[in-house]
Every structure is written in C-alpha cells, then in structure tokens.
Amino acid sequence: MPENFESFIQQHRDAFEEPGPSPRVWDALERELEGGRKGRVVSLLGKNWFKAAVIAVLLVNAAVLFYIARHKQQQQQDLAVVIPEMQDAKVYYSNRINEKLELINAYPVNELGLDSAARQELQLRNDTYKTLENELKNNPGNQRIRGAMIRYYQLKLELFDKILEELHEKHAAPTTHTKKQYEAEI
C-alpha cells in the first residue's frame, strides 16, 4: 500500500502544487494587521491584565491604609480633648480606691470573709472596669459612658467604705496589729 501511495503522489505531483493566494490577499492582510497596531496599548493591557490588576489592588490598599491612619489620628485628637477630664477623675478615684484597698488588705485574709472571686472583684481593674475603659476608647464623646465610669469609681469607693466599716466593728483597727503580726498569732 505505501508503494501505491508513493506512486500516486509522483504521478499527480503537479496537482498538489497550487500557486497559493494572490499578492492582493497578502497586501490586504498586511494592511489589516497594521490597523490593529494602533490599539497596541489595549492589546498589551489584554496580555498583562494580571499585572494591571495587582497594581490597582496595591493602589486601593494604599488609599485605605492612608484613610485608616488619618481616621485613627483624628480619633486620638478627639480622645485628647476628652482625656484630660477623665484622667483627672481616674487619678483621683484610683488613689482613693488604692488607699482603701491597702487598708482592707492589712487585715488577714481569713478575717475578711471573702472568697477569691470576691477579692478579685475588689481589685480596681476588674472586668467591668476593662469593659468601660474599652467603651470609652471607642466612644470618647459619649457622656453616658463617662458617667458610668465615674459611677463605677464611686460605687467601688462605697463598697470599700462598707467593708472597712464592718471590719472596724468586728475587729480592732489594723493599726495596732499589722498583717504579719496577725499571721504570727495564728
């Protein structure tokens, strides 16, 4: 069979060799291709669309970061206006609370009658305080939050006053006996 095919090709060789398209077809094709080169930027963008998308994302990311930085700076300036008033209250109440807490801690733990959860609540910076402080940072101009923070300090002081009053009624003042002396007696 391959011999028949080979002989067939040799006999009809002239029929296989056609002249091809005329020069007019090639000229028209060349003009059409030159017309497409005018939109070269578009074709390059089509080929490099991924690079263009990455650059666009980077630009958007930079703009968002710039906006966040400015917003944070503005929020800190707002806090700076509110903070002095709250800082004064925080210093005042913190000092008073710490003084009362030291008086309470002068008594031995077993005479206080408080479990570990109650002692944890007596600390100045408990969960309630942290929640209020976060809310104040998020909403510095909110009068209700600032009022709640001051009310928290006041309630803490009232609680300490009541605890100290009960301790004074039950026991002698801790000024006569220090905590170490109580522990040594026990």
pLDDT in tens, 124-175: 667 788 888 888 778 777 788 888 888 988 988 898 888 888 888 887 555 5
Contacts of 161 (CB under 8 A, 6+ apart): 100
Classify each residue of 40-69 as buried b or exposed e, where b means 16 or more C-beta atoms within 10 Å of its C-beta: eeeeeeeeeeeeeeeeeeeeeeeeeeeeee
Task: Give Cα separations from 17 to 14, 74, 155, 157 (angstroms).
Answer: 5, 82, 107, 109
Considering the entire predicted model, what is its pTM? 0.47
How confident is residue 39, by pLDDT bands cut at 50, 70 and 90?
low
